[in-house]
Structures are given as C-alpha cells and as structure tokens.
Amino acid sequence: MKKQMQYLSIKRGAAVLFLLQALFVNGQETPKFSITGNMGVSYEGYSVTTNPTTPSFFTPRKPTTLIRFTFQPVISFGEFKLPFNFNFTPLRNNFGSPPYGFGNLPGFPKQNFKQWLTNPINTLGLNPSYKWAQIQLGTQFIKYSDLSTGDLAIFGYGFSLKPGKIRLKYFSGVSQQSYQPFVSLVPPATFVGAYKRTVTMGQIGFEQEGKYFAGFNLVKSHDDAGSITAPLTGIPSTPKPAENFVLSFVTRFNTEKGWYGLTEIGTTISTRDITAPGPNPLLKNFKPYISTNLSSFRDHAAQIGFGKKGKQWDIGVSTKWLGAGYYTMGYSFVQNDRLDYTLNTRFNTWKKKMNVVASIGERFGNWSNVSGRTKQLIANTNIYTQFNEHFSLNANYNNFGFQTPGLTGIKNVGNDLGINPAYNWNSSTMSNLLSLTYNWSKYDETVFPANTLTSNNSQTALLMYVPTFFDKPNISTDFSAMYFKNISRPIMTNLKIYTFSSSLGYHFPKQRLKLKGQLQYNITTINPFTSSKNVMATMGADWNLSEKLSWNTSMTANLFKYGNELAPPATLDGARYMESMLKTALLYKFGN
C-alpha cells in the first residue's frame, strides 16, 4: 500500500513537472516564466565633528544613517506581468512636505503605519498586467498630462485599460496623510499640521501607439476637513482644507516624417477652504464634480507645441498660458498667471562637423495685470565644432533678462559666455587629452526707483589633463585645476576659489573589481578675510561578486578649515569641521 502511494505521488509529481515543462519551456505558443529586475539594500552613514564644538557654526547636512531597501523584480508569465516597485526607508522626517523637518523634534508623535505607507519618501507599488489591462496598486506616479496631474506620489488603487485604440484609466488614493499640529516649547517650534489629501483621477481617450492620442482627463483632489481635530488659527496657522477639480483635453501626434505636436486646454475649479460658507454668487456649482463656496474660483490654461525632427536638423515652437487662478493639486508648485513661449532648433552644418543647438523664449509673469507684467527673456546657444580628429571647440552663450515694470520694478540681467577647446594627441605608448574651459558670467540686479545696482562679474577657468596608457589599460587617471573669481559691486566682495583635483582608478578584470580614488584641494578667499582651505578624499570600490550580485562602496572625508570670516568670537578664528561619509550598496539582478 505504501509503495502504491509512493508510486502514485511520484507519478503525480512527474505529471506536474511535465505540465510545468510544457508550460514554461516548450514552443512559442506556451507561456514563458521569467524574472527580471533587481533588488538591493543601500546604507549611507554620515558624521560631522567640529572644532570648537561651541558655538555652533556648521549644521549636519545629511541624516546620520540612511538605509534604503529596493525590491523591483518583474515576474513574467507569458503575457501576464507582475512588476514590483518597492523602495523604502524607515526614515520618518520629511523636509519639503509635512512635517517639514519637525519629525525629529523631541516629543513629536512617531510616524504611524498609514503615515509611513503614504510617506513621499517610500514607494510600495504593484502593477500586475495581462495583455492590455493593468491594475495599479500601492504607490504610483501617474502622469496624465502637463495641465492635469503628474507630480504626485499617490498611495491607492486603480487601473489602466488599453483595448485596441481605447484608453481608459482610473486611480484613487492618498497623496498626503494627515498630521496633527504640534507645538514644541523646547526648542520653540510650531508645526501647523496637514490635512489628509485624497486624489481621484480618470482618463478616457483614443490612442495609436507612437502616432496619436486624444483624450479627456478629470482629476479631483480633496482634503479631509475632519482629519485635523484642532487646527491652529493664530500665526502661523494650519493651512485650510482645500478642494480642486481639473478637466483637460489633450491631443498629441507624431508622423513618420518627423512632425510632432501637442495641444492641451484645461479648466480648474479650486476651493481654498472647504469650510467657508456658500453659495458663491459669482461661481456656480459644477456638480457632481465639485460644489463651490465663497473661497472658490475657476480659471483656464492652454498649451500648444509643434515641430519637426530630422536627421540633420530639428525645429520646434511651444507656448503655454496659465490663468491667474489656474491651479491643480497634481502640480501644486506650478506658477500660474503666466504666458511663455520658446523656439528651439538644432542643426548640423559645415560637412557635419559643426553642431548648433539654440533656443530663445520669453516668459511673462503677472499676466493678468497688464500694467504689472514681468518679462523674462531666455536665450541659449551652443556651438560644437570638431575641426579634425585632434581638435574640437565648444562655445556657448546664455542670456536671461528679468524685468518688472513701474517704479517698484526690478531688473535682473545675466550673461554667460563659455569657450571650451579640447586637444588630444597620441604617442606610441599613450594618448593625451587636454581640455580648457573658460566661462565669463555677468549678473546685474537693478532695483528701482533708487536705481541701486548690484553687479556680479564672474570668471571660471578649468584646465584638465587626461592621459591614457596603452600598455596599462587598467589604469585611468585625470588631473584638473580650476580658478574662479567673482567680484560684486557696490558692496565690494571678491570671492576666489582655487581647486586642484586628481583621480585614479584601477580595474582588476579577473576579480571583476574596480578601485578608484579622488583627492581634491580647495582654497577659498572672500575679502577681507583670510583664506579657508578644504581637503576632500574619496576612496571606493565597485565589485561584481558574481554575475548577478554587485557591491559598491565609497568613503569620503572632507576637512574644511575656515579663515577668520566667522570671528568674532575669536574662538571661531580658524574653526574647522570634518565630515565623514560612507556609502555602500548591494545590488542583485534577477534574470540573465
């Protein structure tokens, strides 16, 4: 009986193996199983010591430890794909979003699980797909268009369907978890809190991959007014819970002859404070999408761009207008009330030895206020010429001018000119590259009506030498010297920087190991102070432990010694700090 059971189980096992083999290995018609992508862990350690220790004169600029885990395999089974996008850290302090660096304040509430999941520093995303259908779970970075949404990390769920030419997308999730206000007495600090923000978006359109797309985008963002129990109303106060609705229509096309184009028109309705009373006599509700109140406003935006790309030349023009109240939480930092246009081109000439890239554009700010419009000119040109196999020359010129009208006006004008000749020559044992970069920059700020002019005149010169030894191909090295000088007027400030730098690398092919090091020495002088000096040394190794596993490590030590610019007090005359940085990362690659 026992033997029969064993025989049956062996038979079943063989049958399963046979089926799996048939599924995974045989022919093109059967699904194929594979795993690609990578996973890894990285560590950054940072420490700083100062001398003297008090008074404080240097703030640590990195966290003491930063560990990040990466898990990004893509599991494929025929047309079914399961990509993971996990990238996370135990850090609980945000600097450009709530809680704005307050996370380490003594007594500040610890990050809860929801806050950790939706912390913008963490990504925990899954995107299983089968043929034209994709499900989006966890943290997603979804860009619909330039005027709707694309800047946010949102934790939630949704889908993207692409049957034939139809495009149907939906996603809903949390872009910001709530944080309660927190007032600290020692040290004195006030964190104003942040409401939970939910974003829901959808897109419907038609597309032929690589040829055209036309579709509507709808995005609704909403702050949960009940997510903060006791908002601060003094100075500073808790931002009001807001609401935002975006509707945009976008078209794109590309032709086989190189023509391309993009148009988008959008409208937004924004409510700055959903607790404000209503109704708004000047702005009706737009139900079922959004109800307005006295803090609501509505505005529009449009952009258009088209051009042609060729083998020897490109040309394109684009313009964008955003009304004074155009606002989308999907791009919450974007400056509105502006109009800008750009013309850009690239072409090869002189027997294809010369390459020219140029652009010119203007940007008008405060567009809705005709008498108060600001104006900015931006022009860039880069000309590269390969005269022969030994000598090349690159020249670039950048200009920008920013101006506001009227008696309270400002004028900022910047001019940058750069020239970079490079010459290389060979002998029987080595090749040599000598490169010189010179940059002249002038930046003037004029403030009216006093007509006060602050002028900056900068010059940068960099000389670099790179030898390559034919008989020692595993050695790489370079040497560079840089000189920078800036003169500011009318407050006489002369800043001079001298930098000497050299790097050396050695490759052990058998051990699949690369060693590298760099030494940098800086002297900085700001008149009338004595010079400050800085030495920075870096050593590192990139080691392929196996075909799939690599280990990268680098250590940097940075010693900075001030002149007398921090004095008084006298104890800070010659103050110095020492930074130590260690970076190490293990990375494993799946698949072949």
Partner 1 sequence: MNKIYFFILIVICLNNHSASAQLAVTLNISYPAPTYLSEWNNSRSGIVTVILNSAGQQEATLIKFRTQLQNSNGDIIATSNDGTARVYTIRSGATSFTLDKALQLENLQFVDGGIINRIQTSGKLPADNYTLCIELLSSVSGISLTKLPVCRPFVQINYQLPYLLSPTDKVWLDANVAQSLITFRWSSLVPISREGILYHLQVWEILPGQEPMQALRGNQPILDTQIRGTTQYFWRPQLNLKDDSGHLFIWTVQTLDLKGIPVPSTDENNQGRSEPRVFGVCDHLKQDKADPGEDCSKERKL
Ramachandran area for residue 37 (φ above 0: left; ψ -120 to 50: alpha; else beta): left
Contact residue for partner 1 among 462, 566, 567, 578 (CB under 8 A): 462
Residue 268 C-beta: closest distance to partner 1, Å: 10
DSSP code for 290: B
Dihedral angle computed from the Cα positions of residues 560, 562, 563 and 564, in that order, rounded to the nearest 10 degrees? -170
82 binds partner 1 (CB under 8 A): no
Q: Which amino acid is at 238?
A: T
Contact 581/46 with Cβ under 8 angstroms? yes
Q: Which is nearer to partner 1, 291 or 404 (CB)?
A: 404
580 binds partner 1 (CB under 8 A): no
Residue 145 CB neighbours (<10 A): 23
Q: Which amino acid is at 529?
A: F
Q: Which is nearer to partner 1, 200 or 368 (CB)?
A: 368
584 binds partner 1 (CB under 8 A): no
404 binds partner 1 (CB under 8 A): yes
Contact residue for partner 1 among 381, 460, 553, 584 (CB under 8 A): 460
Contact 374/340 with Cβ under 8 angstroms? no
Among candidate residues 127, 298, 143, the one with its CA nearest the CA of residue 217: 143
Query: Pairing between strand 354-365 and 338-349?
Result: antiparallel
Among candidate residues 140, 136, 135, the one with its CA nearest the CA of residue 120: 140
519 binds partner 1 (CB under 8 A): no
Contact residue for partner 1 among 184, 285, 319, 518 (CB under 8 A): 518
Q: Using alpha carbons, list the distances in angstroms from residue 529 to 512, 524, 573.
A: 49, 10, 10
Q: Which is nearer to partner 1, 92 or 162 (CB)?
A: 92
Contact residue for partner 1 among 363, 550, 562, 576 (CB under 8 A): 363
String of contacts with partner 1 for each residue 135-174, x by CB under 8 A? ------x---------xxx---------------------
- Give dist(CA 394, CA 388) in Å, integer: 13
Scanning 5-13, 14-22, 164-172, 359-367 for contacts with partner 1 by CB under 8 A, the matching segment is 359-367
Residue 295 C-beta: closest distance to partner 1, Å: 3
Q: Which is nearer to partner 1, 176 or 227 (CB)?
A: 176
Pick out residues in 418-437 that bind partner 1 (CB under 8 A): 420, 422, 437
- Give dist(CA 296, CA 277) in Å, integer: 10
- Give dist(CA 498, CA 376) in Å, integer: 33
Contact residue for partner 1 among 96, 106, 288, 490 (CB under 8 A): 96
402 binds partner 1 (CB under 8 A): yes
Contact 347/379 with Cβ under 8 angstroms? no
String of contacts with partner 1 for each residue 36-65, x by CB under 8 A? ------x----------------x-xxx--
Contact residue for partner 1 among 236, 258, 310, 569 (CB under 8 A): 236
Q: Using alpha carbons, list the distances in angstroms from residue 424 to 387, 393, 435, 468, 473.
A: 12, 12, 8, 11, 17
- Give dist(CA 119, CA 491) in Å, integer: 45
Residue 392, SS3? strand
Contact residue for partner 1 among 91, 126, 417, 566 (CB under 8 A): 91
Residue 455 C-beta: closest distance to partner 1, Å: 11
Scanning 21-29, 208-216, 365-373, 425-433 for contacts with partner 1 by CB under 8 A, the matching segment is 365-373
524 binds partner 1 (CB under 8 A): yes
Residue 238 C-beta: closest distance to partner 1, Å: 9
Contact 239/228 with Cβ under 8 angstroms? no
541 binds partner 1 (CB under 8 A): no
Scanning 73-81, 210-218, 237-245, 257-265 for contacts with partner 1 by CB under 8 A, the matching segment is 237-245
- One DSSP character per residue, 460-506 reads EEEEEEEEEESS-TTEEEEEEEEEEEEEEETTTEEEEEEEEEEEEEE
454 binds partner 1 (CB under 8 A): yes
468 binds partner 1 (CB under 8 A): no
- Give dist(CA 324, CA 301) in Å, integer: 9
Contact residue for partner 1 among 366, 477, 544, 580 (CB under 8 A): 366
Pick out residues in 178-197 that bind partner 1 (CB under 8 A): 194
Q: Which residues pair with 447 in a beta bridge?
A: 410, 452
Contact residue for partner 1 among 146, 243, 264, 579 (CB under 8 A): 579
Query: Pairing between strand 153-161 and 182-184?
Result: unpaired
299 binds partner 1 (CB under 8 A): yes
Contact residue for partner 1 among 48, 67, 357, 433 (CB under 8 A): 357
95 binds partner 1 (CB under 8 A): yes
105 binds partner 1 (CB under 8 A): no
Q: Using alpha carbons, list the distances in angstroms from residue 414 to 208, 411, 444, 493.
A: 44, 10, 6, 18
Contact residue for partner 1 among 231, 261, 316, 325 (CB under 8 A): 325
- Give dist(CA 455, CA 173) in Å, integer: 49
Contact residue for partner 1 among 369, 474, 511, 527 (CB under 8 A): 369
237 binds partner 1 (CB under 8 A): yes
Pick out residues in 1-40 that bind partner 1 (CB under 8 A): none
Q: Which is nearer to partner 1, 24 or 313 (CB)?
A: 313
Residue 22 C-beta: closest distance to partner 1, Å: 37
276 binds partner 1 (CB under 8 A): yes
Scanning 1-9, 18-26, 248-256, 391-399 for contacts with partner 1 by CB under 8 A, the matching segment is 391-399
- Give dist(CA 378, CA 395) in Å, integer: 17
Query: Can you give 77-122 as a three-state secondary structure string?
Result: ECCEEEEEEEEECCCCCCCCCCCCCHHHCCCCCCCCHHHHHCCCCC
Contact residue for partner 1 among 177, 280, 291, 550 (CB under 8 A): 280
Contact residue for partner 1 among 36, 65, 87, 459 (CB under 8 A): 87
Burial 257-272 (b: 16+ CB within 10 A, else e): eeeebbebbbbbbbbb
